Amino acid sequence: MSNARKEHEERATRAGSVHAGQYEIRLKGRLDARWATWFDGLRLTHEADGTTSLRGPVVDQAALHGLLQKVRDLGVPLISVTQVEADQPDVPTTEHH
């Protein structure tokens, strides 16, 4: 586990905020793995449907909004933002358009 991710998870644990939790942010297209660091160490996964998911702990709503601003700054289309259970396995979801 990277140091950035470990520190991020520790902050999420310490925060204890009602809004702290695990999130999955789904993006259209495929982001290069190097972007994971820019997204505060969230796990970046290329899904079979051609999308990219960013998943991991987010300490509070301000941090979530910061991540969404980064998505906006990249100009990548946002598909969904979902709060997920910490122990929920990574199961690809499909979007029907």
pLDDT digit string, tens, across residues 47-71? 999 999 999 999 999 999 999 999 9
pLDDT of residue 93: 43
Which amino acid would we find at residue 35?
Answer: W
Tokens 């520790």 appear where?
A: 10
Query: How far apart, in whole angstroms, are the C-alpha atoms of residue 8 and residue 10?
Result: 5
- Give me the domains of the chain, ranges plus CATH numbers: 3-84 (3.30.70)
Torsion 30-35-38-43 (CA) sign: positive
Query: How far apart, in whole angstroms, are the C-alpha atoms of residue 24 and residue 82?
Result: 5
Is the pLDDT score of 79 beyond 50? Answer: yes
User: Residue 13: pLDDT band by 50, 70, 90 thresholds?
Assistant: low
For residue 84, give both structure tokens.
Answer: 């997920």
